[in-house]
Amino acid sequence: MESRFNFGLQKLLDIRIEKEEESKRTFQTAQREKIKAEERLTTLQSSYDKYNNIEKNETVITKKIKKNYLNALTITIDDAEKELENKDAHLIKCREDLKNKQIDRKTVEIIKEKKYNEFINEQNLMEQRQNDEFALYAFIRKNMERR
């Protein structure tokens, strides 16, 4: 009389797990993009710092080229900072989405655990009743033999 546990919302749980995995992948992608943006910004800033000092013995043309390059770097750094802010906002959004998907999955898993515990308790109760019945039959048979 062994029966198996069958969770009626298993398909829903599978879908929620799949969506959570997809959200994890999106989050990891957003995280990698943010790291790349940070690295790009750091590279640009180090390049700016490298060429920022103008020495006295440089020619006017060299100074002008450096100034134009630094202006271009400044504009690029500003763009990179804006891009980093956008990537950070996207990462926060992905993190919230992942958190919500994990909550959804855990909600269904908790329901599954409760149903499984109910199932186990029911199975234990049925087994206990069956054992009690066998014990009662054995007791009755023993008493009938003594008479």
Give residue-wise pLDDT tens across range 52-82: 887 878 888 888 888 899 999 999 999 999 9
Domain-embedded: residue 137:
yes
What is the rounded CA–CA span in Å between residue 105 and residue 115?
A: 15
pLDDT band for position 143 (cuts 50, 70, 90): confident
DSSP code at position 80: H
User: Which residue in 123, 122, 108, 126 sits closest to 7, CA to CA?
Assistant: 108
Domain-embedded: residue 4:
no
Q: Which residues contact 13 (CB under 8 A, 6 or more apart)?
A: 7, 105, 108, 109, 112
Residue 60: which domain range? 10-146
The tens digit of pLDDT for each residue in 78-136 reads: 999 999 999 999 999 999 999 999 999 999 999 999 999 999 999 999 999 999 998 98
What is the rounded CA–CA span in Å between residue 70 and residue 51?
A: 7
The per-residue pLDDT for 56 is 79
* pLDDT surpassing 70 at residue 1: no
Domain-embedded: residue 5:
no
Q: Which residue has the higher pLDDT, 51 or 27?
A: 27
Domain-embedded: residue 140:
yes
Number of domains in the chain: 1
Domain-embedded: residue 99:
yes
The per-residue pLDDT for 34 is 96
Domain-embedded: residue 3:
no
Mean pLDDT confidence for 24-49: 95
CATH code, domain carrying 80: 1.10.287.1700
The per-residue pLDDT for 73 is 94
pLDDT band for position 142 (cuts 50, 70, 90): confident
User: Which residue in 35, 20, 30 sits closest to 94, CA to CA?
Assistant: 30
